[in-house]
A and B are shown apart, each in its own frame.
Chain A
């Protein structure tokens, strides 16, 4: 069975800094993989390069059977197949939750307004926020905003969803709601690539954890293996530091 997402030798520099140094991995349909690692190791850049919001300098990305890094590919069309959830939510401030969720279906998929509205309400219900359909982003808590942004991504019926530190900007008590939504998505076999510091979440849902440092994947393996018996010393020191910092919160 061919992988849904295949990343091969992805490279990206910003000026002198080589942010991504030949990153390769793959994701099968229905899998959830979590990318962890110190800040600034290119995890965000990796996600942005996958849906081509940032153009990589070298390497290839395959979505199902299509090489999306090939010159001449319609990036808009590809991005409609890949959902993206941002650390800072990026909800459209001038629209209600309903407006946010139905914008994509209406104007990218060209579904009519009544149908798009129904679809949007279904997705909002899925994340537990149908009662907030007429609220504006500024009226919602961070956790609610992030759930709306997940609904917004889901409304496009994506083949794959990329999560860029979805809970890092949230107060601790709001993180649980978002993680629960993500847990449910994962158990319903949504293909997900998540950059996160939430080790408990990673242990619970990840099919594999990728540890990134210095722009490359240092080690990868199943949660049990990587978290409990890491092979690489860098992995070990990162996990040790993380448990010191976040021990109490876990």
Chain B
């Protein structure tokens, strides 16, 4: 118990270090989102070469362990004389990996939007791209929220891997603490666990709020009746 009290003294330090994790989380999520939705759109709507490239990207970045990707992106450029900071390496590696998973989520969402929506848009004289942008995407985004929520919880925890390439994140700080006072290892790690729990819950709650606010059932009654016939 006294150990817990001692560790509390380090809380500000841990909190400040967790900001690094949050920065990394933000960077990798932005990259993941932009790349992920592009890959999903390419797989659903683009020409064959683009589709093949998208599929290959997804296959590679879902197949390689996160830690291995991190090392590849950190030590890899060094082979060519390019020095990459741990933060950049982690953002790119984890970002592209998240993109691969997000593209799956988003592609599922795109495909759940009923085909009648596209046909109706085209029947008005809308070009396919305009129809995708104005009719399909808004609905797909809403449908993707639950999947994104899962991805968020998974990826928040992955930010701790960046400690392996030297990022001064919360894990490194915890390590520094218990290297000096090994008896504080458990409390420090518990504190890290707690902080992550809070971050994950906050993120999930935010997405749940977004889902509630944009709740418009995206299956039309007519379509549902048709499938019942």
Contacts and interface: CB of A to CB of B under 8 A. Distances in A.
A90 interface: yes
Mostly, the B contact residues are: helix
Interface size range of chain A in the complex: 35 or more
Contacts of B138: 94
Nearest to B217: A138
B46 interface: no
Contacts of A92: 117, 120-121, 135
Contacts of B142: 94
Chain B interface extent, by class? 20 to 34
Contact of A145 (B125, B126, B135, B221): B221
B116 interface: yes
A88 B225 contact: yes
Interface string A136-167: 11100010011001001100100000000000
Given A86-B116, A107-B130, A142 B222 contact: yes
A169 B219 CA distance: 15
Contacts of B225: 88, 142, 169
A53 interface: yes
Contacts, number: 103
Interface in A90-149: 90-94, 103-104, 107-108, 136-138, 142, 145-146, 149
B120 A86 contact: yes
B223 A51 contact: no
Nearest to B133: A107
A78 B125 CA distance: 7
A142 B229 CA distance: 15
Nearest to B115: A90
B126 A76 contact: yes
B220 interface: yes
Contacts of B47: none
Residue from A80, A92, A104 whose CB has the most chain B CB atoms within 10 Å: A92
A47 B56 CA distance: 40
Interface in B93-127: 114, 116-117, 119-127
10 closest residue pairs by CB, A with B: A80-B125, A89-B222, A88-B222, A90-B120, A84-B123, A90-B116, A104-B124, A79-B125, A88-B226, A93-B218
Interface of B: 114, 116-117, 119-127, 130, 134-135, 138-139, 142, 216-223, 225-226, 229
8 contacts: A80-B124, A94-B135, A94-B142, A108-B125, A136-B216, A138-B220, A142-B222, A156-B125
